[in-house]
Amino acid sequence: PDNLRELSHKLGVWIGSAVDVTALAGEADYRTVLNREFTHITGENAMKWESIEAERGVYTWEAADAVVRNAQRNRQKVRGHTLVWHNQLPTWLTEGVADGSIDAKELRKILRDHIMTEAGRYRGKIRAWDVVNEVVDDDGNLRQTIWLTHLGPGYIADAFRWAHQADPHAKLYINDYNLEWDTDKINTTLNIVKDLKAKRVPIDGIGFQGHLGIQYDYPADFPNVMRQFTDLGLEAAITEADVRMVLPVTPEKLATQADYYKRMLSTCVADRRCVEFTVWGYTDRHSWVPGWFDGEGAACIMDENLNPKPAYNALLSVR
Ligand code: XIL
């Protein structure tokens, strides 16, 4: 294959990228490469709650619509990200809960309305939704969020049921980070999935974010972890892959990074239920890593000038 789109067809796995909507609109080279290389896209921030409803009851769909429109024009599937999360919530919501002006009963209605409105708007246009994101903490407890605190653990099942009502054909996912290796988080997440299935809650998929760093050992057990979930009948996706490094960049570090990317994609290819491999931004020009991890960067498969890095070529070699 000459590019990732051809690789995607050859492997039978969608290969995606998160998209920065500002760059999509303003940078022709960014747009050209995105649409040449990828068969799946995720809005990096465009579909998050604070992006679509910063003011209560006032919806801003421009960025989210731009993601869906770009995908339709370029034969790309879309991952909706994300309906229920504890980050990037609008301040009217977090402040209203904190000062008691929004009580538990109202909060539940607000969450239902949010899911019905957003998933309903894009009904039929989203291949897969990250219905709940990061609901388990690193110790394997349900994460203490406004959702757990005020609605109780049943909010997870409710969210899937509402999403299914709003968009019956979308694949509905639970998505998390460190799920490639964190045993406590893995076991709790497996139990959540089993419990939802026992209750006939419509859950279809498991999302492994895939945020790795080369200063840590590669999570060698990842293929087995994925299998534990797909053996429950779930489809799987790697939803936010990137491989960061402590700067400066060296040829050795780029080679290790390439190996980590290749192993992640290979893990997906080897599991017949793994259908999608998405990177969290494809170019170091637009990556969340430098802003979030002090002293780290260069996490993507192309450099700032959109030239392929060793990681890009390593992906092309996966069979
Ligand atoms: C990140 C975005 O990349 C940043 O632009 C934003 O400032 C913060 O969120 N896990 C997720 C993603 O599920 O939504 C996060 O995206 C990265 C970690």
Tens of pLDDT, residues 142-168: 999 999 999 999 999 999 999 999 999
Confidence band, pLDDT 50/70/90 cuts, at residue 112: very high
Nearest ligand 1 atom to the CA of 48 is 14
Tell me the mean pLDDT in the region 229-258.
99
Out of 45, 88, 211, give the residue to mutate to test ligand 1, the one with the largest number of ligand atoms within 8 Å of its CB: 45
Average pLDDT, rounded, for the chain:
98
Report the separation in Å between the CA atom of 45 and the middle of ligand 1, taken as the mean of its atom positions.
Answer: 7
Residue 78 confidence (pLDDT): 99
134 is catalytic: yes
Query: Tell me, what's the pLDDT at 94?
Result: 98
Name the strand (E) or helix (H) holding 106.
helix 104-121
Q: Which two tokens stand for residue 55?
A: 């003011």
pLDDT of residue 138: 92
What percentage of the chain exceeds 70 in pLDDT?
Answer: 100
Residue 1: per-residue pLDDT: 96
Ligand 1 near 22 CB (within 6 A) = no
Ligand 1, atom nearest to 134 Cα? 13
Alpha helix positions (H), the chain:
4-11, 21-26, 28-37, 49-52, 62-73, 91-98, 104-121, 146-151, 155-166, 183-198, 222-230, 251-270, 289-292, 310-316
CB-based contact 166:198 (threshold 8 Å): no
pLDDT at residue 207 in the model: 99
Is 240 considered catalytic here? Answer: yes
Query: Which pLDDT value is given to residue 111?
Result: 99
Query: Considering the chain, what percentage of its residues have pLDDT values greater than 90?
Result: 100
Q: Which residue has the tokens 């980070």?
A: 177
Mean pLDDT of 168-188: 98
pLDDT at 140: 97
- Is the CB of 38 within 6 Å of ligand 1? no
Single-letter code of the amino acid located at 73: R
Confidence of residue 251 (pLDDT cuts 50, 70, 90): very high
The fold for domain 78-316 equals TIM Barrel (3.20.20)
The mean per-residue pLDDT over the stretch 199-209 comes to 99
30: Cβ contacts below 8 Å, ≥ 6 apart = 20, 23, 24, 283, 285, 286, 306
Do residues 36 and 15 touch, judged by C-beta distance below 8 A? no
Q: What angle do helix axes 183-198 and 155-166 make, rounded to 10 degrees?
A: 60
Of 44, 278, 289, the residue with max ligand 1 atoms within 8 A of its CB, to mutate for a pocket test, comes to 44
pLDDT of residue 87: 98
Q: If pLDDT is split at 50, 70 and 90, which confidence band does 266 have?
A: very high
Whole-number pLDDT of residue 98: 97
List the chain domain ranges: 78-316
The ipTM is 0.99
207: DSSP letter? E
Instruction: Encode pLDDT of 218-234 as tens digits.
Output: 999 999 999 999 999 99
pLDDT of residue 4: 98
Task: Transcribe 268-281 into DSSP letters.
Answer: HHHSTTEEEEEES-
The pTM assigned to this predicted structure is: 0.98
How many angstroms separate the alpha carbon of residue 1 from the centre of ligand 1? 30
